[in-house]
Amino acid sequence: MSFNTLFGKVPEDWTISKIGDIAELRQGLQIASKKRLQSQELGSIPLLKITDLPRKVFSEYVKDIPVNYIATKEDIIYTRTGQVGLVYTDVEGCVHNNCFKVILDYNKFDKKYMYYYLNSPQVREYANIIASGSVQKDLTHKAFKIIKVAYPSLKEQKAIADILSSLDEKIELNNQMNETLEEMAQALFKRWFVDFEFPNEDGQPYKSSGGEMVESELGMIPDKWKIITLKDVAALTMGVSPSSDSYNNSEEGLPLINGAADFKGKNISPGKYTSSPKKICELGDMIFGVRATIGNTVFADKQYAIGRGVAALRPIKNVDKEVIFYQLEYAMEKLVNSASGSVFSNLKKGDIESVKFAYYQPIVQQFHNIVNPIVEKIIFNDKETLNLTLIRDALLPKLMSGEIRVSDFES
């Protein structure tokens, strides 16, 4: 015998309960803007807003908050207004009015299991269906309490959560490693190509050691260096969206990158394929947004069709790859400010190709030798993270329905 849930049928030894029967809900506190602090002071705590929770970096603080509205790292926070169904834990602060604090008896329920259950796409989709409001969604206490949760014994809950959290821990480790590697590469780029403190013949910082500087249209640059444009060292392809009747989800043709929705951070994750691509990028090309959401430069891990929301840069020489990447990132703020468009900002081909920077081949070669292994490691970690994410997302509904039992992982 089995029972139907949002994840399908579950085994007969599992329990199905409504959230309202197993958890207490406490809505967060509405706090007037004038009572919010812009920096942390003695006795203040973070205000846990939806905009800040994803990064766990907080922009506002509050004081003298009743304990009922304060979340500890053991609490689960569930967003109920605007963006319904986002779930957070391991944070401390004052719960904002647009969230619930979900309080459970951890003698019966594993926090991580409940976090993964509530954070699943299946529960999030259902929560948005039952939330009221056509313009801004609002999940009431009454609606949230009818959501059903299926769960096995506490021991099995912990085992399921351990499998999923081990994947998330590896994903987080990769993300942290990539942040560190990215910071190292960016710092070296700035020191060599902005501050001009690359090593001279004696291994000393060029500019601060008295290296000769000459006037240029971009200001003072090292002797023997020259000013070039991106067009001099890379070929630019502006994306063109194929006919919508060529779109498909059956993996016919090439995966299509149309814009920001097809990126997950620095990972490329297109939702559609096209059988009639008009513009194509190749493995190793740099692709970035040129419409609405501009920037987020990444290296293509294979061939893609590119739509009007993206562009691709292909270095003429491989040795220029890294310096082009970081020069483009460095110039992106200026490019964003120069973008045209009354509804959506758009970068034009000429805007990108005309980006100017100082260039000297011997130093570019040295930079490539140092930074190329860093970039390759970042790309490798990104691919592994994407694979781990796919594995986690495929496992979650099977574990939460009992289709795969924890015992199946035991040798």
Q: What CATH code is carried by the domain that includes residue 46?
A: 3.90.220.20
What is the C-alpha separation between 86 and 60, in angstroms, rounded? 20
Phi-psi region of 39 (alpha: psi -120 to 50; beta: other; left: phi over 0): beta
Q: Which residue, 151, 177, 199, sits at the end of a domain? A: 151
Looking at the structure, tell me whether residues 133 and 238 fall in a common domain.
no
What is the C-alpha separation between 13 and 407, in angstroms, rounded? 14
Looking at the structure, tell me whether residues 141 and 230 fall in a common domain.
no
pTM of the model: 0.83
Task: Provide φ and ψ at 261, rounded to 5°.
Answer: -65, -20
Confidence category of residue 1, pLDDT binned at 50, 70, 90: very low
Q: What is the mean pLDDT of residues 186-198?
A: 97
The most confident of 38-52, 275-289, 360-374, by mean pLDDT: 360-374
Q: What is the mean pLDDT of residues 147-169?
A: 95
- Output the pLDDT for position 410: 55
Structural domain of 18: 2-151
Looking at the structure, tell me whether residues 102 and 242 fall in a common domain.
no
Look at the chain and count its residues: 411
Task: Please state the domain count of the chain.
Answer: 2
Assess if residue 172 is contained within a domain: no
Looking at the structure, tell me whether residues 29 and 147 fall in a common domain.
yes
- For the stretch 231-284, pLDDT in tens is 999 999 999 999 888 999 888 999 999 888 888 777 788 889 999 999 999 998
Structure tokens at 237: 């392809």
In the chain, DSSP finds a helix count (H) and a strand count (E) of 9, 27
> How large is the angle between the packed helices 361-400 and 321-338, nearest 10 degrees?
80
- Output the pLDDT for position 344: 66
Looking at the structure, tell me whether residues 15 and 134 fall in a common domain.
yes
Report helix, strand or coil for 178. Answer: helix
Which residues are 48's β-sheet partners?
95
Report helix, strand or coil for 378. Answer: helix
For 245, residues 6+ apart whose C-beta sits below 8 A from its C-beta are none
